[in-house]
Amino acid sequence: MGIFDYDFMKNAFVAILLIAPLFGIMGTMVVNNRMAFFSDALGHSAFTGLALGILLGISDKDVSMVIFAIVFALLLNYIKHKNVASADTVISVFSSLSVAVGLALLSRNGNFSKYSVMLVGDILNVTVSDIVKLVIALAVTIVVWLFCYNGLSGIGINKSIAKSKGIPVILYENIFACLVAVVVMLTVRMAGILIINALLILPAAAARNISGNAREYHLYSCIGSVFSGITGLVLSFYLDAAAGPMIAIVAAILFFVTFAAREIGRK
């Protein structure tokens, strides 16, 4: 039977077509603003959000994970702006704590095996409800991009100059942090906690290798993300492997190819 003879593969394909542009758009600004460690910490906090949802009896675990991730992101930004420690140190402390708390809660009575699938993800179990959430997330991301792109770009270049131009730096950073939190939490069950940051960063990093301007940067990032997603999904089907890792492998290969192309072009 062919890849699209199965309903779960059709749903997974639609999900990829929604997740890939999300990662392609978000990844460029994550790379520009040097937030790779931040997004990675958000992904790891999913365990705590899931655990709190179970403890509080919330039926839709995405809700608890998104709420926790937003609070987590805003708190990280608040402490980071207080300059009590370096940004990397603050993020590392929060990330370590959230992972430890989440694992401690989920592993009670030996139940962690039920949630271990979140480590590598399972896009083949995506539902219509998941797809609807992704559509909403993509729409919100596009709207935020239209209104906040120039400000976020200015912040990524130089915060001091951005402030002098009247850009509300803290507001923009909080909006973007919340957006990253929502996108990561809605996709982490499908992509996997261990590799979701790779899927977010690699297409943007590959696009940066070969882009001559901002328009090309975003376009190539989205194209690379879609290519990696579709190719990885097809390979996972025929190789009987998890989709998330296969997509990450394709994205990594794409990065090395574009890196080599850039170096050859310089010579």
| Reduced 3-state DSSP string for 152-189 | HHHHHHCHHHHHHCCCCHHHHHHHHHHHHHHHHHHHHH
First to last CA, the chain: 48
Integer angstrom CA distances of residue 116 from 70, 83, 110, 174, 199: 23, 36, 12, 31, 19
Please report, for the chain, the start and end positions of each structural domain, with discontinuous segments joined by +: 3-191
The pair of structure tokens assigned to 237 is 């089907």
Beta strands in the chain (DSSP E): none
Q: What is the pLDDT of residue 253?
A: 94
Q: What is the pLDDT of residue 84?
A: 61
Q: What is the pLDDT of residue 254?
A: 94
Q: What is the pLDDT of residue 149?
A: 80
Q: What is the pLDDT of residue 207?
A: 92
**Phi, psi for residue 104 in degrees, rounded to 5:** -65, -45
Per-residue pLDDT of the chain (267 residues; tens, 9 = 90+): 567 777 778 888 888 888 888 888 888 888 877 777 777 788 878 878 888 888 887 878 788 888 888 988 888 888 777 766 666 777 788 778 888 888 887 787 666 667 677 777 777 788 888 888 889 988 988 888 888 888 888 887 777 888 888 888 888 888 888 888 888 888 888 877 777 888 888 999 999 999 888 888 889 999 999 999 899 888 988 888 888 888 889 999 999 999 998 888 776
* 3-191 is classed CATH 3.40.50.1820: no
Is residue 239 within 8 Å of 118, Cβ to Cβ? no
Is residue 257 within 8 Å of 133, Cβ to Cβ? no
Q: What is the pLDDT of residue 112?
A: 67
Give the integer Cα–Cα distance in Å for 173 and 168. 9
Q: What is the pLDDT of residue 85?
A: 61
Q: What is the pLDDT of residue 109?
A: 66
- Determine the residue type at 239: L
Exposure b/e, 169-204, CB count within 10 A at least 16 = b: beebbbbbbbbbbbbbbbbbbbbbbbbbbbbbbbbb
Instruction: Tell me if residue 213 falls in helix, strand or coil.
Output: coil
Q: What is the pLDDT of residue 259?
A: 92
Nearest to 26 by CA among 189, 261, 201, 264: 201
Give the integer Cα–Cα distance in Å for 106 and 48. 8
Q: What is the pLDDT of residue 252?
A: 93
79, HSE (Cβ side, Cα atoms, 13 Å): 16
Q: What is the pLDDT of residue 257?
A: 93
